Amino acid sequence: MSAQTALRIAVLVPCLNEASTIAAVVCDFKAALPGCEVHVFDNNSNDATIEVAKSAGAHVRTVPLRGKGNVIRRMFADVEADIYVLVDGDDTYDAKETPTMIEMLLADGLDMVVGTRISEEQAAYRFGHRFGNVLLTRCVSCLFGRTFTDMLSGFRVFSRRYVKSFPAHASGFETETELTVHALELRMPVAETPTVYRSRPEGSASKLNTYRDGFRILVTIVKLFKTEKPLAFFSLGSGLCAFISILLAVPLFDTFIRTGLVPRLPTALLCVALMLFGAILLVCGIVLDTVTHGRAESKRLAYLTIPAPRRV
């Protein structure tokens, strides 16, 4: 018996109206990972997704609260396994890549392996999605350090200790950003590997809106920057207030030195208010930075209570 088949492997498939593709996804992963359990979490589909998934042999549950993030939160809470495979239900990822990703996870003691999408099909990976992915990935890289080349991939393999220590907050497609930042914040051992990305089969439609979901992801990055790096975030605001205050104060000082008068009292009061506000922002950043370090230590300790992935 191989190390992979001796481990409990759960394939997690979030779904919304994927009746035309879900059977192929379930069957492909069952064939690629003999002995695995495929869990389909339906997000209130109005087609035959549930019936088709059950017929294909998947364990099916329903998540009434709409949004991919809400589905992943429920998946990670409810499913028990040693290794978790997260994949979209649109049949765009190749299940045959999964054993290689799991082998990487076990061989190097990793907590997450991301399947980086490689595709020559323009319809599979449209230019707008490619450009947005690169832009958002670089934003995260600038704010949080080393990151992945495909931060928004929907094909990942996780260790148990990653899944059970993940504090899911996102509700929609921004959940992939949260998954990435969680690994970077705790400095988990992670990797990525190229995987084939196919176009959707005819008859299925993407749920991703390039502009709306891209904006939500960008907002999530800013929120995570504020939450995880409050000193840097509030220092930017403090520095901006101080800069504007000094810029407005220079003419006042020049007039005062030449005449001994302060003729523009409202401007002088604005300069003082801006400088005080900047000082308050800096103090907030210092205090919240201390709190954030405490939270990070607590999350790290919770993460370490779960054994690392290892061969059986």
User: Do 92 and 105 fall into the same domain?
Assistant: yes
User: Do 56 and 131 fall into the same domain?
Assistant: yes
Q: Using a pLDDT cut of 90, give the percent of the chain over it.
A: 47
The answer as to whether 165 is a domain residue is yes
User: Do 256 and 184 fall into the same domain?
Assistant: no
Q: Note the pTM of the prediction, 2 decimals.
A: 0.79
Per-residue pLDDT, 1:
38
pLDDT tens digits for 291-309? 988 888 888 888 888 887 7
Comparing 162 with 312, the larger pLDDT belongs to 162
User: Do 152 and 79 fall into the same domain?
Assistant: yes
The answer as to whether 310 is a domain residue is no
Per-residue pLDDT, 125:
53
pLDDT tens digits for 183-225? 888 889 999 999 988 876 665 556 566 667 677 777 877 887 8
Q: Give me the DSSP letters along the chain.
A: --HHHHS-EEEEEEESS-TTTHHHHHHHHHHHSTT-EEEEEE-S-SSSHHHHHHHTT-EEEE--S-SHHHHHHHHHHH---SEEEE--TTS-B-GGGHHHHHHHHHHTT-SEEEEEEE---TTTS-HHHHHHHHHHHHHHHHHHSS--S-TT-S-EEEEHHHHTT------STTHHHHHHHHHHHTT--EEEEEEEBPPPPTT------HHHHHHHHHHHHHHHHHHH-HHHHHHHHHHHHHHHHHHHHHHHHHHHHHHS----HHHHHHHHHHHHHHHHHHHHHHHHHHHHHHHHHHHHHHHHTSPPP---
User: Do 95 and 152 fall into the same domain?
Assistant: yes
pLDDT tens digits for 106-132? 999 999 999 988 876 555 455 556 666
Q: Which of 197, 227, 257 is the last residue of a domain?
A: 227
User: Do 247 and 280 fall into the same domain?
Assistant: yes
User: Do 187 and 269 fall into the same domain?
Assistant: no
pLDDT tens digits for 21-73? 999 999 999 999 999 999 999 998 888 999 999 999 999 999 999 888 899 99
Q: What CATH number has the domain bearing residue 78?
A: 3.90.550.10
Q: Which of 176, 198, 227 is the last residue of a domain?
A: 227
Comparing 99 with 293, the larger pLDDT belongs to 99
Residue numbers of the domain that contains 141: 3-227
